[in-house]
């Protein structure tokens, strides 16, 4: 993990008991209510006409600041939901809510040393430091459910038999036990003032998020996916990628893995990359996405840019976070391939038929919804079509920019006319696929998407 991208992190105690977290959320609700009341008073005495027309009473600038401050201190499910929403490029949510989640994504807090010490002792005992030649007690990264430290594993326990640089991911205390209650509080806050459209199916979204978050809180599960992706059946031997080794002594709440030296492919490093770098990175990530779906049937579903590091020396994409990994059934992937293949070939009826089979549609939709659904799904196939000029250009002013603009225009129609939430499996799948395209767009990359698609079809037919 990169040294140069350390942000100014803030230390604060994480409320770890359910009562403690309830107290904080209750205080947040009260302060938001106070902020809304103040806004009502302000508008009632203001002579400016614009003040009577503008925006939500709940999501004023002062209330947005209250939300961001509290969510970054609480961490856990609320912050994870914020991070998830902030990397979407679909404009599903009101601008005020998107702004909150973007600002939460840019903030970070970590545990005070005494709290981190408690977690390490619970996992490895009082002499846990004996496993390391060195351990930096200040983390270099902090996210929604844990923080990451630089360390050097002792030769006596290292998988190579010599001291090895390692990244130690330490989970915040009791974060797994707080998921359900946290998401309940967040749902309450998001539904205040009926801000969210009915077609968003927030209950289903939160249900899926709950399940995914419980999986992510199991670092032993993440370690198993690290080993699978690093095996000869998956990415070992593929010189385009680097999967770190994982230490056998890792536990459910502390994950120790190989430290890699690449840099995040996120926006902060874009200006340092050549066009060749950008094209190679985007090509590999889109190719990996397709391979995970249609060859491995196993996908790391979090497209957050910090999960992909670019090593300019080895010209490898280093993959560092497998907490959001999941497997898909052969039947589901077969059906989803049929849908994507229909969009690539431009077959409207086949797109509807596969959508019905998958559960995107009920069969009772009106023509407005059918047309919007087919157009939005067909947009995913545009980069792979034989009629599309290759290499396909992503970024501002390109054909992809026009495609995403069309999708955004269709979202209000689908939210107003949708009869059923998307299939459960597609939440993570769409997040990764759209995230891969968004990353390519941020990089301004050019990718021969048709060649990547033809290789996938060939592998399925062989």
Check residue 149 and give its pLDDT. 96
Phi/psi for 16 (5° steps) reads -110, -15
pLDDT for the residue numbered 354? 97
Q: How far apart are CA 110 and CA 147, in angstroms?
A: 6
pLDDT at 83: 54
Neighbours of 387 (CB within 10 A): 7
Query: Would you say how long the chain is, in residues?
Result: 462
Could you report the per-residue pLDDT of 273-330, keeping only the tens digit for each? 999 999 999 999 999 999 999 999 999 998 877 889 999 999 999 999 999 999 999 9
Is 218 catalytic? The answer is no
Is the whole model's pTM more than 0.95, yes or no? no
Q: What angle do CA 325, 326, 331 make, to 5 degrees?
A: 150
What pLDDT does residue 244 have?
97
- The two three-digit tokens of residue 22, written as one number: 């309830």
d(CA 427, CA 430): 6
For residue 438, the model assigns a pLDDT of: 87
Residue 270's Cβ-count burial label (10 Å; 0-12, 13-18, 19+) is middle
What structural domains does the chain harbor?
10-108+178-194 (no CATH), 112-171+218-261 (3.30.200.20), 264-462 (no CATH)
Question: 181: part of which helix (H) or strand (E)?
Answer: helix 179-190
Catalytic residue selected from 182, 277, 280, 302: 302
pLDDT block averages, 10 residues each, the chain of length 462:
48 50 43 41 42 44 56 59 50 56 61 94 97 96 86 96 97 82 71 59 80 91 97 94 97 97 74 90 96 95 86 95 94 96 96 96 95 92 95 90 86 87 87 87 94 93 78
pLDDT for 19: 44
């Amino acid at each position: 993990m990169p040294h140069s991208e350390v942000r100014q992190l803030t230390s604060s105690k994480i409320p770890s008991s359910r009562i403690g977290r309830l107290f904080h959320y209750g205080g947040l609700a009260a302060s938001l209510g106070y902020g809304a009341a103040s806004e009502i008073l302000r508008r009632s005495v203001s002579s400016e006409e614009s003040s009577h027309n503008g925006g939500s009473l709940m999501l004023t600038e002062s209330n947005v600041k209250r939300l961001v401050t509290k969510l970054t201190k609480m961490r856990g499910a609320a912050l994870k939901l914020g991070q998830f929403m902030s990397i979407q490029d679909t404009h599903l949510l009101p601008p005020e809510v998107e702004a909150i989640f973007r600002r939460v994504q840019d903030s970070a807090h970590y545990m005070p040393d005494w709290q981190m010490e408690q977690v390490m002792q619970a996992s490895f005992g009082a002499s846990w430091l004996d496993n390391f030649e060195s351990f930096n007690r200040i983390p270099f990264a902090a996210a929604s459910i844990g923080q990451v430290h630089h360390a050097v594993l002792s030769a006596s326990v290292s998988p190579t038999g010599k001291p090895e640089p390692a990244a130690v991911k330490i989970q915040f205390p009791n974060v797994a036990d707080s998921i359900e209650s946290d998401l309940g509080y967040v749902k309450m806050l998001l539904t205040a003032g009926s801000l969210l459209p009915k077609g968003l199916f927030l209950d289903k979204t939160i249900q899926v998020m709950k399940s995914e978050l419980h999986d992510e809180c199991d670092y032993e599960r993440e370690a198993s996916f690290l080993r699978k992706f690093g095996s000869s059946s998956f990415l070992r031997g593929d010189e385009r990628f680097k999967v770190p080794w994982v230490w056998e002594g890792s536990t459910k709440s502390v994950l120790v893995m190989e430290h890699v030296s690449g840099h995040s492919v996120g926006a902060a490093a874009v200006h340092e990359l050549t066009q060749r770098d950008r094209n190679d990175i985007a090509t590999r990530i889109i190719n990996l996405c397709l391979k995970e779906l249609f060859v491995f049937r196993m996908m790391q579903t979090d497209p957050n840019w910090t999960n992909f590091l670019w090593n300019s020396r080895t010209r490898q994409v280093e993959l560092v976070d497998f907490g959001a990994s999941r497997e898909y059934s052969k039947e589901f992937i077969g059906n989803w391939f049929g849908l994507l293949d229909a969009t690539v070939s431009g077959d409207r009826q086949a797109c509807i038929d596969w959508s019905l089979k998958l559960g995107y549609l009920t069969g009772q939709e009106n023509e407005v919804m059918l047309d919007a659904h087919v157009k939005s799904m067909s947009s995913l196939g545009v980069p792979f079509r034989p009629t599309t000029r290759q290499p396909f250009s992503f970024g501002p002013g390109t054909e992809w920019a026009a495609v995403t603009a069309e999708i955004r225009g269709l979202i209000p129609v689908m939210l107003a006319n949708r009869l059923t939430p998307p299939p459960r499996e597609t939440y993570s799948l769409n997040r990764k696929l759209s995230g891969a395209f968004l990353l390519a767009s941020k990089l301004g990359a050019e990718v021969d998407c048709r060649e990547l698609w033809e290789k996938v079809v060939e592998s399925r037919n062989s």
